[in-house]
Chain A
Amino acid sequence: MNTLLKFATCGSVDDGKSTMIGRMLFDAKLLFTDQERTLLLEGRRESGEIDYSLLLDGLMAEREQRITIDVAYRYFTTKRRSFIVADAPGHEEYTRNMAVAASFADLAVILVDVTRGAAIQTRRHLRICAMMGIEHFVFAVNKMDLLHYDQRRFEKVERELMRMAAEYEIRSLRIIPMSATEGDNVTRRSERMPWYVGPSLLEHLEEVDARRADAEEGFVLPVQRVCRPNRNFRGFQGQIEAGSVAVGDELTALPSGERARVARILNAGAEAERAEAGCAVTVALDGEIDVSRGCALVRGARAEAADLFSAQILWMDDARLVEGKSYILKLGTKSVPAAVVRIRCKIDVNTGDEVPADAVYKNEMAICEISTSEKIALSRFRDHRALGALILIDRLTNMTAGGGVVLQVLRRSRNLFRQDMAVTREFRARQKGQEPRTVWLTGLSGAGKSAIANELEKRLAAMGRHTMLLDGDNVRLGLNRNLGFEEADRIENIRRIAEVAKLMNDAGLIAIVACISPYRQDRQNAREIIGADSFVEVYVSTPLEECERRDAKGLYVRARSGEIPNFTGISSPYEPPRAPAVALDTSRVPLADCVEAVLRALREREA
């Protein structure tokens, strides 16, 4: 019977990875003739030699830049086995692509340049592969020809690799000295290294037993869909991920916990008495129980219904992982809203060191706690792959933003909830991905405060920021309706506006206040209420003559005639700020530039 081996290759072009794969296909006479023609046509370098790597680098950008950007899948068959190679690029920036390749494979071939020994990137490759669940490894120690096939140099590297590998749970490990360019130990055993008694790479791949050594305990069937062609049939469709099932078996549905017995099994559409792991089945039960897509049918499995767990994750999105932000979690066949409620630490991908962190960026690894909006069927990744592997999807862009594995299912005690889920000002701010600030615009009536405030809010909204505009005139119509223009009322007016702005900041929002606020002391009070770090004072310094000339509301005319008493600038003083963050004269600076200046001031505060 012809079996299939899926393996990943890790390493960069410099390690000779593409040459190794190309060589394997070439030597094993696995190339179709037209591919050979392509190779000869495109592959001639100055030396006139064949460039095997051109077989593999498929995309236009890759050929132009002579690098591998994305995972490529290659297929070949020998007399003994069928193979699928997931060829992963080695650069650090493509860590996520290596994870993609590793999650697909049962075995990893990691290229090591013998002249450089076990490098940092070797550690990285091993760590990612191990995280994604690979338990079978080959180290291809390449470029032996450059060291004249020296046994001692190989053994030195071999010792380093053994030490490195000892940190992980590895079921099979093979370390092979190789020269991909010369063809030593790729498909045929090398005569130039008689001291090496093991198999060539291809021989090993043909023979290795890469089944998961520990067959998972019990039976697991994540339900993909409910099949209901008519009222007499209700079947649950999915692929068996662990164990086997027979007609008559009692199964438990997760998360509901309800039980029923198997009445019928269809294996790939055909009636069956039993079915085993790997089969795509439809299972009908003898009782009506609560099962829908995303549920799991289990028996004797190490799985449970839960809504809080710790996970090791790899972040893959350009936008950083934000604590508290809602993502779509896909685990098994279930998609559910979920949030990372706590980042415990980052793991240095190269060294394995745990470092404290409150944000996780692209290609970084972290351990965190994830909370789902409802209970789902869950298990540790090491117990059940299918119920312990997950991805996080950004709800706005729909990008697959992160992937990971469940380490531990957590109990949600009240205490833990309070401690971990404290919804603080910082938490809410992070949720919105911004620093809360109060932009306080002060200046004469008609100076252009509202115009700047409105335009500023539009710009911030367009940048995806969350804002709230508090216009002095509007606040006086509502919250401050009971206040007049006497001194005590004026102080109270500013105090209330400052308190509201502070609440907005606590909610994570950027508050924009447009209000004459003529007295230095009032503004100082506001600064103290809001907090000096958050308070951004903007002085709209348009001169009185210009304000009076504009007189959009006709207030200056009425003030001059004495109709309005205590009018700022006419019958009441305006005290300009001594050190505003920005000063803007709208009679000289266009509106767009004013807004730009405020945005600049906000950015400076962030940095």
Chain B
Amino acid sequence: MQMRAHLDELEAEAIYIMREVAAECERPVMLYSIGKDSSVMLRLALKAFYPEKPPFPLLHINTTWKFREMIAFRDRVAKKYGVEILEYINQDGLAQGINPFDHGAAYTDIMKTQALRQALDLYGFTAALGGGRRDEEKSRAKERVFSFRNASHAWDPKNQRPELWKLYNARVNVRGEEIRAFPLSNWTEADVWRYIQQENIEIVSLYFAKERPFVRRDGNIIMVDDDRMKLRPGEVIEHGKIRFRTLGCYPLTGGVESDADTLDKVVAETLGALTSERTSRVIDRDGGSASMEKRKREGYF
């Protein structure tokens, strides 16, 4: 028997996980953040169930502060592949004018974590597929592929279900309990990029270097995506070739100066990079290295 290539093995594993979720969970949904990992997830879902369409909808938690290019990309993808993408916005947060400039960590909590919880409750989803990877962050490294969340959507790291072989336990009892399943658990950032290259997967153009307006803030390059951007005293808008390694809310996502404007160049640059990816997402720095674990305990993905 020939040894299988690393990427083939990861692809088959992810498909297996998605099929288990579809087969065992009553009402699954796939979280769709529009980023590159979501693009990979969608491709895997299309492959996993073909010739059937993925037997679950996609869910986008919109904070209303996403890059405009992301929203355009999302709508195009839904149409192209004929998949249903649900959008959820925390209307309370919106009405209160919660924004990333004035509300800091509360913004992430209200517009992302709480919004996600509200959406899961609203639709009654019993399982959510996410693109999280164990190489991203310390607490993710300890999370199961099928991660049980209690009726308040919280993760209890000390009471995880043992996960043996690929015998995933997807059982939930009470209404509100749910499973978060992570088909890309064993992928690294490099694997994601190589797979995008191998499969020629379309990703948002923000990943490619282009002349864009930005300011320098606290050591980060923040793109000025629309006129809601509040400039601090002394900040000037610069123009230059920048690109993004991760995507999120534009005021909270740090870009890098780069000339990589093709997929091959981006992959080459990324694989040679010396900073792991979440450092460019500003929100993770709040609260030190334990902040992700805290948010996960509160229901964050």
Chain A interface (Cβ within 8 Å of chain B)?
1-4, 32-35, 38, 42, 58-61, 63, 69-75, 77, 82, 84, 96-97, 99-100, 103-104, 132, 211, 215, 224-225, 227-229, 233, 235, 237-239, 266, 268-270, 276-280, 282, 293, 316, 328, 330-331, 333, 335, 385, 389-391, 393, 398-400, 403
Contact = CB atoms under 8 A, between A and B. Distances in A.
A58 B46 CA distance: 34
Interface in B164-212: 164-165, 167, 169, 171-173, 185-186, 188, 190-191
Contact of A269 (B20, B48, B290): B48
Interface stretch (B32-40, B216-224, B274-282): B274-282
Given A74-B141, A225-B22, A233-B51, A33 B289 contact: no
A84 B186 contact: yes
Contacts of A38: 289
Given A84-B186, A225-B22, 19 more contacts: A3-B6, A32-B275, A35-B276, A58-B142, A61-B157, A61-B158, A70-B142, A74-B141, A211-B1, A215-B1, A237-B49, A239-B12, A266-B50, A280-B15, A293-B23, A330-B167, A400-B162, A403-B162, A403-B164
Given A71-B142, A269-B46, A1 B3 contact: yes
A276 B164 CA distance: 23
A96 B162 CA distance: 7
B12 A280 contact: yes
Counting chain B residues whose Cβ lies within 8 A of the other chain, the interface size class is: 35 or more
B290 A60 contact: yes
7 contacts: A1-B5, A2-B5, A59-B139, A72-B141, A279-B8, A280-B11, A293-B23
A34 B276 contact: yes
A103 B16 CA distance: 17
A103 B166 CA distance: 9
Contacts of A132: 164
B161 interface: yes
Contacts of A84: 186
B180 to A, nearest CB: 15
B293 A59 contact: yes
Contact of B167 (A97, A266, A390): A390
A72 B293 CA distance: 14
A18 to B, nearest CB: 13
| For the complex of A and B, 4 pairs with smallest distance between CB atoms | A269-B47, A58-B138, A32-B276, A269-B50
Contacts of A278: 4, 8-9, 12
Contacts of B162: 96-97, 99-100, 316, 391, 400, 403
B52 A73 contact: no
B60 interface: no
A280 B46 CA distance: 13
Contacts, number: 168
B47 A70 contact: no
A400 B165 CA distance: 12
A282 B19 CA distance: 11
B87 interface: no
Contacts of B165: 103-104, 385, 389
Counting chain B CB atoms within 10 Å of each CB, the highest count among A70, A82, A227, A400 belongs to A400
Contacts of B142: 58-59, 70-73
B235 to A, nearest CB: 25
B53 interface: yes
Contact of B23 (A2, A69, A225): A225
A103 B145 CA distance: 14
Contacts of B51: 227, 229, 233, 235, 266, 282
Contacts of B172: 398
A312 B165 CA distance: 15
Contacts of A99: 162, 164
Interface in B123-139: 134-135, 138-139
Nearest to B53: A229
Interface centre among B6, B185, B191 (most CB of A within 10 A): B6
B141 A279 contact: no
B52 A228 contact: yes
B19 A58 contact: no
B163 interface: yes
Given A4-B6, A33-B275, A227-B52, A391 B164 contact: yes
A444 to B, nearest CB: 46
A59 B12 contact: no
Given A1-B3, A269-B48, A280-B12, A103 B275 contact: no
B138 A69 contact: no
B64 interface: no
B91 interface: no
B262 interface: no
Contacts of A277: 1
A389 B167 contact: yes
Interface string B270-301: 00001110010000000001100110000000
A580 B188 CA distance: 70
A268 B11 contact: yes
B118 interface: no
Nearest to A133: B165
Contacts of A225: 19, 22-23
Given A71-B142, A224-B19, A398 B186 contact: no
B1 A238 contact: no
A403 B164 CA distance: 7
B19 to A, nearest CB: 4
A215 B1 CA distance: 7
B22 A75 contact: no
A73 B186 contact: yes
Nearest to A396: B173
B160 interface: yes
A77 B52 CA distance: 36
A507 B1 CA distance: 56
A398 B25 CA distance: 14
Given A3-B3, A390-B167, A70 B160 contact: yes
B1, B135, B188, B190: residue with the most chain A Cβ atoms closer than 10 Å: B1
Nearest to B289: A38
A125 to B, nearest CB: 17
Nearest to A77: B190
Interface string B247-281: 00000000000000000000000000011100100
A82 B6 contact: yes
A280 B169 contact: no
Contacts of B185: 73
A385 B167 CA distance: 11
B161 A400 contact: yes
A398 B11 contact: no
Contacts of B290: 60, 63
A390 B165 CA distance: 9
B169 A393 contact: yes
A333 B279 CA distance: 39
B115 to A, nearest CB: 25
B163 to A, nearest CB: 6
